[in-house]
Amino acid sequence: QIHISPDAEALGDALAQRIVAAVQANPTAVIGLATGSSPVAAYRAWGRIATSLGLDQNRVRGFALDEYIGLEAGHPESYHSVIQRDVVEVVGLDPHLVHVPNGNGEPGEAEAYDRAIREAGGIDVQILGIGRNGHLGFNEPGTAFDSRTHVVDLTAETIADNARFFASSAEVPTTAITQGLGTIFEARELVVIATGSAKAAAVAAALEGPCTEELPASLLQRHPNVHWFIDEDAASLLS
């Protein structure tokens, strides 16, 4: 399903409603959490709606999509910090139930993360943003559709895109650990948010182009339960 709106706030609200519905249906729901700019409004809306409903979220569990390798967990731009600041605190989750892959590059971490997701019963709703190059998580073009959580080299484009969060692009880590495309695909529901004209080509290719590993988000064409939330700029190249 594709939801298009001129208003990014309204998209965030609509996405948040799906998460809240999942938590209402199952108070121990497992939510997959993206970082980046795209879902920020949705996290705010989720927190607002949950508060207004008096929703008990004490048992909601979360798994972040990815983490940089080589940043201290306490670095303000590590995804440990971002998830704590922009998700756990904003939404009102128990930090002990929200997991972020360990970015220390230790062997076995990727397998352990996949195992933890499996042991939690899998992800009920996975929130996703999309990169300008069509990446999902940090799965860059060319990543196998059946990949599991793994360590990746970031592309120059992704490093340039993420430089806005750092003092300079030289400070952006060059490697990361990410849920694999196969891991992401196993979520029972996927909600994708994309705003702005910079995402238009990737959105059009993901929805209307060939399903190819050269465009990771095109994998979503094969998933039975995907909801896209896109503003008119990001939708501008759809036919």
Angle (nearest 5°) at CA 35 between 231 and 224? 60
Site string for ligand F6R, 134-163 (x = CB under 6 A): -xxxx-------------------------
C-beta nearest to ligand F6R: residue: 129
Q: Maximum Cα–Cα distance for the chain, whole Å?
A: 45
Q: Is 183 in the site for ligand F6R (CB under 6 A)?
A: no
63: Cβ–Cβ under 8 A, 6 or more apart, which residues? Answer: 30, 31, 32, 33, 98, 99, 113, 116, 117, 120, 123, 179
Characterize the bridge pairing of strands 98-99 and 189-194. Answer: unpaired
Q: Does 38 bind ligand F6R (CB under 6 A)?
A: yes
Query: If binding is defined by CB under 6 A, does position 131 make contact with ligand F6R?
Result: yes
Distance, in Å, from the CA atom of 223 to the CA atom of 236, rounded to the nearest integer, reads 23
Q: Binding pattern to ligand F6R, positions 57-96, x when CB under 6 A? A: --------xx------------------------------
Q: Between 34 and 172, name the residue whose CB sits nearer to ligand F6R.
A: 34
35 binding ligand F6R? (CB under 6 A): yes
The distance of closest approach from Cβ of residue 54 to ligand F6R in the complex, given in angstroms and rounded to an integer, is 29
Q: Which residues bind ligand F6R (CB under 6 A)?
A: 34-38, 65-66, 129-131, 135-138
